[in-house]
Chain A
């Protein structure tokens, strides 16, 4: 399947769910989608089109939170990134971990570092941060404040 075919297929099947396309280069494609359509589009891309899930990357954009789900079609050398925009106050999106195991850890990571709630994730325990890390303190948010006053930090002196 070629890139144009993938583009046409996506456009045809999900025309109500896709917000925009950004064809950055022959090897990169960014697709803005509605958050509620994430699971069905990802399932289609992963299971039906046979793409590989690279990773997701969450970004705090100050006004909103953005997640990019990167998929790669290895045969035709194309990386498709699905972009969803979530509200910053209650970032919530359906989990992909049930659809494919590869999304399990990264959703746990985004949950603790950015405070995104993944509905339906089987196991949203902390992955990287310690157990005593307080809820509501998210290190990758731009307004993150150091909470542990007792921690020994290297101040570079």
Chain B
């Protein structure tokens, strides 16, 4: 009978870019149990937000996460607008959609690059990040910033999009489509990639529902839920696009789904830029009435949920932030158990975890998403086995 071994990873591990403590219990090469300990960078943003005005809060929550920096302000302004029940101008709705979709493309490309890196496909990593650079340029033209766009405010947006910028942006977006097509083909047809990711780390539909998984993680398991479609906000009901759903729930499906979603986002982005209506960009909210509001938006990683309670002053009484990874990370338990330790990395990466969001903690390096490199983990595992072998004097 093989003996169980505990492999601690973290909290401060050279292979991790964010502190997180994983305890993998392995039998030989197979993971039999996993425990996650989070909280090493807990910042208390929810408490801090109670001391900020609604206008300041958008900047505060923007700093929850460096990758999906727009999703938190977006959810917050949705929640505040839910309290006051106001309609925002059409042009502002379009601009919000443009910013959110640009962010989704860059986030999915970033993830795609990292996934390629984990699997030892550094070419994919380089290509994907090169494409992402174009999108960051687009975001810089539109908002003035490559990240933390500071575009949102309760009642509208802070900054208008200049009409002379639109052709430049459209041209830039068009220029990435052929390369993205090439990447899609490379992923869909590569036999090695299939061998590595197909049937690995399966999250069944039932588990996805039980864990209330969100976003790409749920959609890759055949759960066709997308806040943009189910509960249309901003301009998502005014343009034509599809929910992407893949049925199998394995790593390959999550990989493919994100690439296909990037295409849909490009479609939405182009449609919004072309049909951008004229008009005001700010409804000019003066006072937030007392009451409670819920803001739900589809961040790149799933539904971002903000609950705000106001007592009629200019500060929230309670501001609850629920980032998508908070619901998605526990699914790791369902997917990684039973797999080999060398696959643990890519299974975790397939969730696209964002610890910053989960703990509402400090903004990290934008690469701060993955835990450890697959090859190193394999090495770690081999050394461990060797040690155990020596310990028990086995051959």
Contact = CB atoms under 8 A, between A and B. Distances in A.
A106 B327 CA distance: 9
Residue of A55, A81, A140 ringed by the most chain B CB atoms within 10 A: A55
Interface residues of A, number: 32
A57 B307 contact: yes
A6 interface: no
Contacts of B236: none
B211 A102 contact: yes
Contact of B38 (A74, A101, A102, A127): A127
Contact of B39 (A70, A81, A104, A127): A127
Contacts of A57: 307, 318, 320, 322
Contacts of A79: 294, 296
Contacts of A130: 39
A74 B39 contact: no
Contacts of B122: none
Contact of A54 (B211, B296, B330): B296
A68 interface: yes
Contacts of B212: 52-54, 100, 102
B149 interface: no
A149 to B, nearest CB: 18
Contacts of B322: 54-55, 57, 106
A153 B22 CA distance: 28
Interface stretch (B42-50, B135-143, B277-285, B379-387): B42-50
Contacts of A128: 38-39, 42, 359
A68 B210 contact: no
Contact of A104 (B291, B292, B320, B330): B330
Contact of B330 (A28, A55, A68, A105): A105
Given A70-B294, A75-B230, A128-B38, A25 B85 contact: yes
A70 B359 CA distance: 20
Interface in B262-304: 291-292, 294, 296, 303
B320 A74 contact: no
B328 to A, nearest CB: 10
Interface in A73-92: 74-75, 77, 79, 81
Given A28-B294, A70-B305, 4 more contacts: A57-B320, A59-B318, A102-B327, A127-B38
29 contacts: A27-B231, A28-B82, A28-B294, A52-B209, A52-B212, A54-B296, A54-B322, A55-B327, A57-B322, A68-B307, A70-B294, A72-B296, A74-B225, A74-B230, A77-B230, A77-B231, A100-B210, A100-B211, A102-B210, A102-B211, A102-B212, A102-B330, A105-B326, A105-B330, A126-B39, A127-B38, A128-B39, A130-B39, A139-B44
